[in-house]
Chains A and B, each alone.
Chain A
Amino acid sequence: MLWGGDRARAAPDLLLNTYAKDEMETRDPIIRLFNVSKRYGKHYAVKDITIDVDAGEFIFVTGSSGAGKSTLMKMIYLAERASQGQIIVDGMNLDRISHARIPYLRRNIGVIFQDFKLIPNKTVYGNVALVLEAAGERSAMIRRRVMQVLETTGMADKVNAFPPSLSGGEQQRVAVARAVVGNPKIILADEPTGSLDSESAQSVLDFLMQYHDKGATVLIVSHNMQLISSTVRARSISLADGTLVGTATML
């Protein structure tokens, strides 16, 4: 099992496409937000945020409950549209993106949800394979890639299990496997460790670090300060009441 710890360094190359490597070397912003606001009625969930995220960066988005962290994430993968301002992700202006192009944007973004969002009546294999099936990959290639990723996340022996029969930590590993199986340039993780014990939380973080080391951009929404402080070379963005209140870099 290659999950977590020192074994993280043995991650196979499948977790990275060459394009992502190039992005990392040039360090161009891969996500850009210009004066972005999100309003529900009269209430602002996110207000006037401007930030650039460089390709290959590792970022924590922190803040108390209701600070707008999750809304910010959702706007990046277009689960929500910004009320004002502009968001550019991997060269695509989300304000102008057509309905038909949204799936292609999402294939470049692997999302890990706090509640895992696994399909209960699909097996572990089926849940992870869904990403590649949706992208129209060949079945032989899907099988190979899914098995490799499940091996890496330590879930290969649960390939035929259904999510409800798995523990929280195991479900989160499947969710992580699903997020990375399509080799996305960006990983967005919304409280990925929120419902896990400290050991499982550290394992998830290790895996994401390992994926990041291969060139991907990782954004994690978290208020687990212990976890954040243990991560080196990461930038932390703090939100309060929907506005940006500070940034810091862990050295």
Chain B
Amino acid sequence: MFHYFKRAVLDILSNRFLNVITIVTIALSILVVSTFVLFFENTSRVIDSWNQGFRLVAYLGESFTPSMLPKLTAKIQAMAEAGEIRFIPKEEGLALLKQEMKNRSAFLETLEENPLPHVLEIRMKRTGLEWDEITAFAKTVEQLPQVTDVEYGQQWLGRFLSLFNLFRVTGYAMSSLFFLIALFITANTVRLALYSRRQEVEIMRLVGATDRFIITPFYIQGLIQGTLGGIVGLSILLIIFLVISLNLQESAASYMLFDIQFLSVKYWVIIIFGSAFLGWLGCYLSLKQFIKY
């Protein structure tokens, strides 16, 4: 095996240009794929964290009086999803609004009566609920007679989720495309290497070399190219990530609602193995045709 490995390394060194092109192509493909993985991993984490602290706001109608509160609270608390419930009377709501508007709150003084409704803030008991479960719970709360409206950021969150899903599909499509491009380039490199060395390969055959003896170094070469391409691609992504996250920390730390994290070790391993497999598959496709003689 050491002999095959040595031959593969010597082959790479003697065809440096072609091999560098292949490694760079694989690295770029891995960079694109792992950028999508990085985006999805972080977005999924953010969505999870939103779900965990998820709140639902129920607006109560004119028919509601504070004396109905214990009965209403008990009704909601009986539902499986409901956790802590906080009642915000409309007076408190107006005070909060004034506090938030500060200097621009003068016009609120002119109001003859408080236009705000009483509000119930309901937290979810379980964390990490599915979007469908949240929607179903909100509908049940909305059907209560005293409740006029329920708000849980359904519009913007729903839009965000469909945008996220669109990104996911685009990500899959782009990743597949880049995988195919890298595969094509790797297969082509092996084919070119075979053509450039066809005389040598022919001589090897004539002196009694088996197919395994001839092709094994090519496979090792493919695995080396794939692994190196994966490592280079991930390293480029790490450098870009570090530069961007350092800049963000300096300039926009106060606006950051969450920490962006780099890919977990699990994904490092998956991506590098995937990249090595890509190199191997490229070889396999070229050599499969070559072996028929």
Contacts and interface: CB of A to CB of B under 8 A. Distances in A.
B is a partner of A: yes
A130 B204 contact: yes
B204 A117 contact: no
Contacts of B200: 119, 121-122
A133 interface: yes
A182 B208 CA distance: 10
A134 B204 contact: yes
B196 to A, nearest CB: 10
B208 A117 contact: no
A117 B210 contact: no
Contact of B208 (A100, A104, A121): A104
Contact of B203 (A105, A107, A119): A119
Interface string B241-284: 00000000000000000000000000000000000000000000
A134 B205 CA distance: 9
A135 B209 CA distance: 7
Nearest to B214: A134
Interface string A112-144: 000001110110000000110111100100000
Contacts of A118: 203
A227 B35 CA distance: 72
Contact of B3 (A111, A133, A178): A133
A106 B214 CA distance: 15
B213 A79 contact: no
B14 interface: yes
Contact of A134 (B199, B202, B208): B208
A103 B210 contact: yes
Given A119-B199, A121-B14, A133-B3, A79 B206 contact: yes
B207 A178 contact: yes
B46 to A, nearest CB: 56
Nearest to B291: A99
Contacts of B202: 117
A105 B209 CA distance: 11
A100 B210 contact: yes
Nearest to A77: B206
Given A119-B200, A121-B14, A134-B213, A106 B206 contact: yes
A134 B207 contact: yes
Contacts, number: 50
Interface residues of A, number: 23
A135 to B, nearest CB: 6
Contacts of B207: 106-107, 111, 130-131, 134, 178, 182
Nearest to A179: B207
A107 B213 CA distance: 14
A36 B14 CA distance: 44
A134 B203 contact: no
Contacts of A182: 207-208
Interface in B173-211: 199-200, 202-211
Nearest to A111: B206
B146 to A, nearest CB: 84
Interface string B201-227: 011111111110100000000000000
Contacts of B206: 77, 79, 106, 111, 117
A193 B213 CA distance: 31
Q: Which of B199, B203, B207, B209 has the most CB of A within 10 A?
A: B207
Given A119-B200, A119-B203, A134 B14 contact: no
A111 B206 CA distance: 8
A82 to B, nearest CB: 17
Contacts of B199: 117, 119
A130 B199 CA distance: 14
A131 B208 contact: yes
Contacts of A104: 208
B5 to A, nearest CB: 14
Interface of B: 3, 14, 199-200, 202-211, 213
25 contacts: A100-B210, A103-B205, A104-B208, A106-B205, A106-B206, A106-B207, A106-B208, A107-B207, A107-B208, A117-B199, A117-B202, A117-B203, A118-B203, A119-B200, A130-B203, A130-B204, A131-B207, A133-B3, A134-B204, A134-B207, A134-B208, A134-B210, A135-B208, A136-B213, A178-B207
Interface of A: 77, 79, 100, 103-107, 111, 117-119, 121-122, 130-131, 133-136, 139, 178, 182
Given A77-B206, A118-B203, A131-B208, 13 more contacts: A103-B209, A106-B207, A117-B199, A117-B203, A119-B199, A119-B200, A130-B204, A130-B209, A131-B207, A133-B213, A134-B209, A135-B208, A136-B213
